[in-house]
């Protein structure tokens, strides 16, 4: 009688250890993502990046990175998902060492190298995403996914906020003595060590599907058919262009808030970190509220309410240079972006054709968004470079030439919104009793819209179930 009990207990123990390693991996990898996503713009400015280079730093990595999700699916037919995730994580650890080496060199003309390394970092991040999603989806029991990933997200956010605070303090301290290069080098070394520990925990995790995915002979043509069907759907096409257009217009100004705070307002790195931390923390804190409002009023209504406020946000930066005032502005921005990101994801789930793979539609929308973010980032870079000349044409004095970039971003956001409002159709809501049936995780941050939600799975929620 003991043999069956032993055989049953062994897989359960292995699963529990794997999930435990996954939570530890979340803490370790967060030291890397928080450093790269929070301090990359500041590091670029430290290396002497121009306005045009700041635009390229935002535009190019996101465009090329989004395409890597398709490459990841193709590579998954040759490599196991565990091996693909591990190799890519090791590459990211090596890239952290590359960032630290740039900081130590302290020479000019390093921004182009930085952009290349950021491209590789973003490509690696997107390469991992589909494989990690499939791996974790096969590990976590369906009815526990909401609880598990909520706990994982809390660990991620706690670690990230600690890195924000500690990194900002250390950078400010080293900057006092003219050693900011040492501060950045230290942060990237910590990020490298975090990713190294992450690799160890990933290596220790079990994969119940240890074989590569066998692709069907018609997979390529099936993908093309889905793409054609998706963009022939008027509702999806309008939605996709709206989300992409809005984020593209945001990308015009996104990278230049760091330029404004660090170069023009001469904030310390600690003040800059607090500003970014408030923005991210507000988004995270407001997700549950937006989830409840989404359940009550529907994703279309909340999405349009948030979108109406978004054109105002960059204009708010014109009214005061007070650090306290800008924290309030970041709270407003975090509030709006939190609702926008959550409801646009749920809106996409509701408008996709029945029984169609949600991941496919999400990937298509992400690629379109990355393309318009590329256009917006490049446009913002050149506009910021010209703003020093354009400001002389105004009949009144502007405190900063970057105000032109902020106002242009706000006006273009309003234009995208006005185009979409008459085309925003109420989706036919799918039968799902609770929002937690659609499970997300906080995947990363960026200078365009802060928190990036990654769709994980659709699962039933049992109200009687205990965590």
DSSP string of 140-186, one letter each residue: S-GGGHHHHHHHHHHHHHHHHHHHHHHHHHHHHHHHHTT-HHHHHHH
Contact 135, 81 (CB under 8 A): yes
Indicate the DSSP class of residue 318. Answer: T
- CB atoms inside a 10 Å sphere around CB 417: 20
- Is residue 225 within 8 A of residue 94, CB to CB? The reply is no
Q: Which range among 68-82, 117-131, 213-227, 285-299 shows the weakest confidence by mean pLDDT?
A: 213-227
Phi and psi at 355, nearest 5°, equal 65, 15
Round to whole Å and give the CA distance between 440 and 456.
Answer: 5
If you average pLDDT over every residue of the chain, what do you get?
82
What is the reported pLDDT for 434? 44
For residue range 393-417, list pLDDT tens digits in order: 877 777 889 999 999 999 999 999 9
> Which pLDDT value is given to residue 62?
87
Helix (H, G, I), strand (E, B) or coil at 106: coil
Domain boundaries, the chain: 2-207+225-458
Between 412 and 139, the higher pLDDT residue: 412
Contact predicate 35/165, CB 8 Å: no
Which of residues 77 and 99 earns the better pLDDT score?
99
Beta bridge partners, 104, equal: none
What is d(CA 379, CA 371) in angstroms, rounded to the nearest whole number? 13
Q: Which residue has the tokens 């937690």?
A: 436
Between 143-147, 259-263, 277-281, 432-436, the lowest mean confidence (pLDDT) is in 432-436
Q: Which residue has the tokens 């990237």?
A: 188
* Residues in a beta bridge with 452: 444
Question: Residues 190-209: pLDDT tens digits?
Answer: 999 999 999 999 999 888 77
Q: What is the pLDDT of residue 51?
A: 92
- Tell me the mean pLDDT in the region 359-381: 85
Partner residues linked to 391 by β-bridges: none
Residue 188 CA to residue 114 CA, distance in Å, equals 13
The answer regarding whether domain 2-207+225-458 maps to CATH 1.20.1250.20 reads yes
141-145, 360-364, 453-457: least confident range: 453-457
Question: How sure is the predictor about 356, in pLDDT bands with cuts at 50, 70 and 90?
Answer: low
179-194 burial, b for 16+ CB within 10 Å, e for fewer?
A: ebbbbbbbbbbbbbeb
Q: Which residues pair with 438 in a beta bridge?
A: 458
Structure tokens at 46: 């430290």
Q: Tell me which of 62-71, 188-197, 346-355, 413-422 is least confident.
A: 346-355
Tell me which range, 56-60, 215-219, 285-289, 435-439, is most confidently predicted by mean pLDDT.
56-60
Helix axes 234-253, 403-420, angle to 10 degrees: 170
Q: Which of 14-23, 37-46, 352-361 has the lowest mean pLDDT?
A: 352-361
Q: So what's the pLDDT on residue 440?
A: 53
Count of other CB atoms within 10 angstroms of residue 203: 14
217-241 residues labelled b (16+ CB within 10 A) or e (exposed): eeeeeeeeebeeebeebebbebbbb
Q: Count other C-beta atoms under 10 Å from residue 144's C-beta.
A: 14
């Amino acid at each position: 009688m003991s043999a069956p009990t032993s055989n049953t207990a062994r897989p359960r123990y292995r699963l529990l250890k794997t999930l435990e390693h996954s939570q530890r991996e979340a803490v370790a990898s967060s030291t890397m993502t928080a450093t790269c996503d929070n301090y990359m713009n500041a590091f670029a400015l430290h290396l002497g990046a121009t306005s045009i280079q700041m635009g390229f730093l935002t535009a190019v990595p996101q465009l090329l990175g989004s395409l890597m999700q398709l490459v990841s699916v193709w590579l998954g037919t040759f490599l196991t998902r565990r091996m693909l995730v591990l190799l890519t994580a090791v590459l990211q650890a090596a890239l952290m060492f590359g960032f630290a080496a740039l900081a130590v060199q302290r020479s000019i003309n390093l921004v182009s190298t930085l952009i290349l390394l950021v491209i590789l970092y973003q490509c690696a991040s997107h390469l991992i995403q589909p494989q990690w999603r499939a791996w974790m989806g096969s590990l976590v029991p369906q009815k526990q996914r909401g609880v598990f990933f909520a706990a994982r997200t809390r660990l991620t956010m706690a670690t990230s906020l600690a890195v924000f605070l500690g990194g900002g303090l250390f950078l400010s301290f080293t900057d006092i003595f003219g050693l900011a290069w040492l501060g950045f080098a230290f942060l990237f070394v910590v990020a490298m060590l975090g990713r190294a520990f992450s690799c160890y925990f990933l290596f220790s995790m079990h994969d119940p599907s240890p074989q590569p995915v066998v692709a069907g002979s018609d997979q390529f043509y099936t993908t093309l058919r889905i793409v054609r069907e998706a963009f022939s759907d008027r509702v999806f096409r309008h939605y996709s262009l709206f989300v992409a257009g809005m984020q593209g217009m945001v990308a015009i100004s996104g990278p230049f808030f760091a330029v404004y705070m660090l170069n023009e307002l001469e904030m310390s790195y600690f003040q800059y970190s607090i500003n970014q931390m408030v923005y991210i923390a507000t988004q995270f804190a407001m997700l549950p509220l937006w989830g409840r409002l989404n359940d009550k009023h529907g994703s279309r209504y909340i999405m349009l309410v948030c979108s109406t406020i978004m054109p105002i946000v960059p204009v708010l930066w014109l009214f005061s240079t007070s650090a306290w005032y800008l924290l309030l502005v970041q709270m407003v921005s975090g509030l709006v972006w939190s609702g926008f990101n959550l409801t646009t994801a749920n809106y996409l789930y509701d408008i996709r054709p029945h029984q169609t793979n949600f991941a496919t539609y999400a990937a298509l929308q992400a690629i379109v968004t990355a393309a318009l973010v590329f256009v917006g980032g490049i446009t913002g870079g050149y506009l910021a470079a010209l703003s020093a000349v354009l400001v002389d044409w105004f009949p009144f004095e502007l405190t900063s030439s970057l105000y032109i970039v902020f106002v242009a971003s706000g006006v273009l956001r309003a234009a995208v919104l006005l185009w979409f409002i008459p085309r925003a159709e109420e989706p036919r809501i799918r039968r799902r009793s609770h929002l937690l049936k659609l499970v997300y995780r906080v995947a990363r941050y960026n200078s365009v819209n802060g928190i990036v939600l990654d769709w994980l799975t659709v699962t039933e929620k049992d109200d009687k179930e205990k965590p």
